[in-house]
Chains A and B, each alone.
Chain A
Amino acid sequence: MSQKRNAFREGLKDGLPICLGYLAVSFAFGIQAVSTGLSVFQSTLISLTNLTSAGQFAGLGIIAASGSFLEMAGVQFIINLRYMLMSAAISQKLSPEVSTLKRLGIAFGMTDEVFGISAARPGMLEPAYSAGAILIAMLGWTLGTFLGAYSGEILPAGLISALGVALYGMFIAIVIPVARDDKNIMITAMAAVLLSSIFTFAPVLNTISSGFRIIIVTVVSAGAAAILFPVDDAEEGACCE
Chain B
Amino acid sequence: MNNVYIYILVMAAVTYLIRALPLTLIRKEIKSPFIRSFLYYVPYATLSAMTVPAIFYATKNIWSAAAGFVVALILAYMRKSLLTVAAGACTAVFLIELFMV
Contact = CB atoms under 8 A, between A and B. Distances in A.
B93 A87 contact: no
Interface in A195-241: 195-197, 200-201, 210, 213-214, 217-218, 221-223, 225-227, 229-231, 233, 236
A147 interface: no
Interface residues of B, number: 76
Contacts, number: 309
User: For chain A, which range describes its interface: under 10, 10 to 19, 20 to 34, or 35 or more residues?
Assistant: 35 or more
Contacts of A85: 39, 42-43, 46
Looking at chain A's contact residues, the main secondary structure is helix
Interface in B43-63: 43-55, 58-60
B18 A92 contact: no
Contacts of B14: 72-73, 76-77, 80
Interface in A70-126: 72-73, 76-77, 80-92, 94, 96, 100, 103-104, 106-108, 110, 112-113, 115-116, 119
Given A21-B86, A110-B23, A192 B10 contact: no
Contact of B46 (A20, A110, A218): A218
26 contacts: A42-B5, A46-B12, A54-B50, A59-B11, A69-B10, A72-B7, A72-B10, A76-B11, A77-B14, A100-B24, A104-B23, A107-B19, A112-B43, A161-B94, A162-B94, A169-B72, A172-B72, A173-B80, A173-B82, A189-B44, A189-B48, A193-B49, A197-B53, A221-B49, A222-B44, A223-B38
